[in-house]
């Protein structure tokens, strides 16, 4: 089995270092090079992980024979880099949300399809066993008709991007926007996957607390899906410092016959899902908790990240479509853009 050579485009981001254990854990995959314009960040990374360093990613993809590029550039710069890699036949993992606009992801998608290379993005929550169980319950009809859902994702404060050499995240021109762009896409993708349905109407509201940057700190949305399910999202950078693990996460679904409720622990190994159902199969125990024990694993999002990257590499080897596609990336950003349009106009936006 040929070892696939990988290169990282962009290191001034919170995740490249924590992705390295994921790359190291996948058989037949080796990171050989990395590129970043910040010499301090680049030199430290190249030394710590014994890879070749380049100040310009363009030089890297020209000189290295890469099979896979992992892109962690500012969101607005991802499309140009992805297109250039695709034109060289390099497969692509582009950190979510993939671009600062849905149109940018469309450009990547077209280039990848033309070149016949894989293009995916790490919506890793789809690989969580609790999420998989929740989707199975929906498909089995345990909840009946899904009426309403809630999603909350409050993670860290703005200063974590400054301390992590990623201050560009606080500049709308480079990042696209605030927490709904960076965090909300995860929950948007997950509810699309849970419900096997698409958003048709969006109402959004953004709340700005900081006065130093041109992004909002809090973003709220009401998403209506085509079959009538309404999902409310509360996505924020204002979780208190004292909050456990610095993240307040929650997902729930309510139907005509049951409820699912889960507060994820992010990189933890123990999870609990609350299930309440009037379905016949639950008659003897209509309310119950289901406990999950995950395998501990190093790296970004732990075992979820391992499953995602291993699946992407296998899809490359098999010449198959990835489980998470560029179309998923496009749709998530179309919903986010509608949230911002609604917040600005004060009107509901139809998709």
User: How confident is the model over 57-115, as pLDDT tens digits?
Assistant: 999 999 999 999 999 999 999 999 999 999 999 999 999 999 999 999 999 999 999 99
Give the closest residue to 118 by CA, choosing from 308, 285, 305.
308
Element (H, E) at 288: strand 287-293
Q: How confident is the model at residue 111, as a pLDDT?
A: 98
Q: How confident is the model at residue 266, as a pLDDT?
A: 78
Q: Which is the CATH superfamily of the domain at 127-301+332-350?
A: Dihydrodipicolinate Reductase; domain 2 (3.30.360.10)
Q: What percent of the chain has pLDDT over 70?
A: 100
For the chain, 351 residues long, the average pLDDT of each consecutive 10-residue run is 95 98 96 98 98 98 98 98 98 98 98 98 98 98 97 91 95 97 98 98 95 94 98 94 88 98 89 96 91 95 96 97 98 98 98 97
Topology of domain 4-124+304-322 in CATH is Rossmann fold (3.40.50)
Instruction: Fill in the DSSP letter of residue 3.
Output: P
**CB-based contacts of 249, cutoff 8 Å, min separation 6:** 152, 153, 154, 155, 263, 264, 265, 266
Query: How far apart (Å, rounded) are the C-alpha atoms in residues 133 and 268?
Result: 17
Q: How confident is the model at residue 274, as a pLDDT?
A: 98
Quick one: the chain helix, strand, coil %, rounded to 5? Answer: 40, 25, 35
Half-sphere exposure of 211 (CA within 13 A, CB side): 0
86 token code pair: 């695709």
Cβ 324 vs Cβ 121: under 8 Å: yes
Q: How confident is the model at residue 267, as a pLDDT?
A: 76
> Would you kindly state where each structural domain of the chain is located, as residue ranges?
4-124+304-322, 127-301+332-350
Query: How far apart (Å, rounded) are the C-alpha atoms in residues 105 and 107?
Result: 5
């Amino acid at each position: 089995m040929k070892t696939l050579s990988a290169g990282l485009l962009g290191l001034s981001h919170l995740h490249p270092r924590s992705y390295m254990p994921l790359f190291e854990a996948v058989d037949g995959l080796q990171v050989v090079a990395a590129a970043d314009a910040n010499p301090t960040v680049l030199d430290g990374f190249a030394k710590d992980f014994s890879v070749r360093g380049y100040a310009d990613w363009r030089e890297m993809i020209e000189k290295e024979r890469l099979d896979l590029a992992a892109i962690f550039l500012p969101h607005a710069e991802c499309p140009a880099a992805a297109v250039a890699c695709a034109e060289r036949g390099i497969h692509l993992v582009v950190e979510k949300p993939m671009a600062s606009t849905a149109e940018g992801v469309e450009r990547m998608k077209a280039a990848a399809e033309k070149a016949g290379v894989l293009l995916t993005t790490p919506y890793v929550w789809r690989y969580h066993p609790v999420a998989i169980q929740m989707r199975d319950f929906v498909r089995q009809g345990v909840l009946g008709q899904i009426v309403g859902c809630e999603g909350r994702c409050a993670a860290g404060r703005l200063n974590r991007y400054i301390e992590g050499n990623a201050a560009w995240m606080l500049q709308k021109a480079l990042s696209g926007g605030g927490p709904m762009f960076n965090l909300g896409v995860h929950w948007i993708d997950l509810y699309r996957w849970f419900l096997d349905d698409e958003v048709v109407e969006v109402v959004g509201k953004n709340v700005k607390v900081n006065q130093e940057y041109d992004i909002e700190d809090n973003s709220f949305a009401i998403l209506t899906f085509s079959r009538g399910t309404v999902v409310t999202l509360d996505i924020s950078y204002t979780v208190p410092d004292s909050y456990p693990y610095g993240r307040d996460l929650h997902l729930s679904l309510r139907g005509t016959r049951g409820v699912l409720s889960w507060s994820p622990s992010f990189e933890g190994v123990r999870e609990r899902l609350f299930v309440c159902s009037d379905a016949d199969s639950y008659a003897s125990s209509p309310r119950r908790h289901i406990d999950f024990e995950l395998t501990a694993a190093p790296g970004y999002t732990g075992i979820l990240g391992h499953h995602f990257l291993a699946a992407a590499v296998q899809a490359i080897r098999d010449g198959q479509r990835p489980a998470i596609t560029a179309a998923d990336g496009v749709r998530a950003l179309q919903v986010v853009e509608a949230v911002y349009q609604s917040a600005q106009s004060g009107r509901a936006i139809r998709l």
